[in-house]
Amino acid sequence: MASLFVEQLTVIDFSYLCPERGLVGESWLVDVVLDGSLNEQGMVFDFGNVKKDIKQAIDSTIDHTLVVPSKSKAIQLVDHGDIREVMLETSQNGILHCQAPSAAIVPIPVDVITPSTLKAVVEEHLKSVVPDNVDSVSVNLYPQSIQEAYYHYSHGLKKHHGDCQRIAHGHRSPLKVKLDGQTSPQLASQWAKKWQDIYLVTEADILDEFENKGFRYIKCGYQAPQGYFELTINKKCCYFFQTDTTVELIAQHLAQEIKKDYPSHQVTVHAYEGYKKGAIATA
């Protein structure tokens, strides 16, 4: 018996529904360990296959989806053929409703989404992609250790040709701000706090704004290559953009907003999108 490992094989960027926090954007790193006997090549599984097949299997399960703890009493799920609808009801934010092609909303039969409750689902899925000499695959899911400010956001990029078109996928993202070249942890923390668990809305995607039972809601929707997506969410969980919400435009927006308060300073923003990638903007 031998064991093979790959650390940080991939990063899953997704959002999940939480009865306490609402819609939460996350980025979790994934380590894998494969136990098995050696094949005719003297390997448990070629690293090339691990990096391609296992990464692809993980990405196709959770990455860029809305993950739903389907056993939670606060959740209702309905399937209409290829379309899935989910509703989260909480006393603090009222109703959150999402409708999307089924692949974009992933029900997990648990009460709450955590790295350990998702782990079992990912491991079960991976059993079908490894060869017979592999006895078990285990994964470790965990958030990046971040020293500076960070925020969790969700969004959808309707013009993206891949899975980023999904209306409720998200990221956990560090933020760095500099004023005249000097790091300002204070400004970064201020924006990270303002955007904690935020949904970034592109104003052109708004279909309706309405009030119901004391809550003010925003309904967004669009047709994208994978199908029709719609999200209704409490307005106080939203931040509004006049543009799309690519990370380049997020960095630009933050730099311009901070510049309004510091007009005589050069403002530089490093906005991350999940793990170790992002955009830099200066105003």
Ligand X SMILES: Nc1nc2c(c(=O)[nH]1)N=C([C@H](O)[C@H](O)COP(=O)(O)OP(=O)(O)OP(=O)(O)O)CN2
Closer residue to ligand X (CB): 55 or 265: 55
Rule CB under 6 A: is residue 273 a binding residue for ligand X? yes
Q: What number of other Cβ atoms are within 10 A of residue 57's Cβ?
A: 18
Rule CB under 6 A: is residue 247 a binding residue for ligand X? yes
Q: Which two tokens stand for residue 63?
A: 């990455």
Q: CB of residue 168 vs ligand X: minimum separation in angstroms?
A: 12
Question: CA-CA distance, 172 to 185, in Å (whole number)?
Answer: 17
Rule CB under 6 A: is residue 23 a binding residue for ligand X? no
Helix, strand, coil abundance in the chain, percent, nearest 5: 25, 50, 30
Rule CB under 6 A: is residue 246 a binding residue for ligand X? yes
Closer residue to ligand X (CB): 109 or 162: 162
Q: CB of residue 28 vs ligand X: minimum separation in angstroms?
A: 11
DSSP assigned state of 277:
-
Rule CB under 6 A: is residue 13 a binding residue for ligand X? yes
- The answer to whether residues 190 and 202 touch, using CB atoms and an 8 Å cutoff, is no
Angle at 190 between CA 269 and CA 176, to 5 degrees: 25
Rule CB under 6 A: is residue 157 a binding residue for ligand X? yes
- The answer to whether residues 194 and 236 touch, using CB atoms and an 8 Å cutoff, is no
Using CB under 6 A, count the residues that bind ligand X: 14
Rule CB under 6 A: is residue 59 a binding residue for ligand X? yes
Q: Which residues contribute to the site for ligand X (CB under 6 A)?
A: 10-11, 13, 59, 64, 157, 160, 162, 164, 169, 246-248, 273
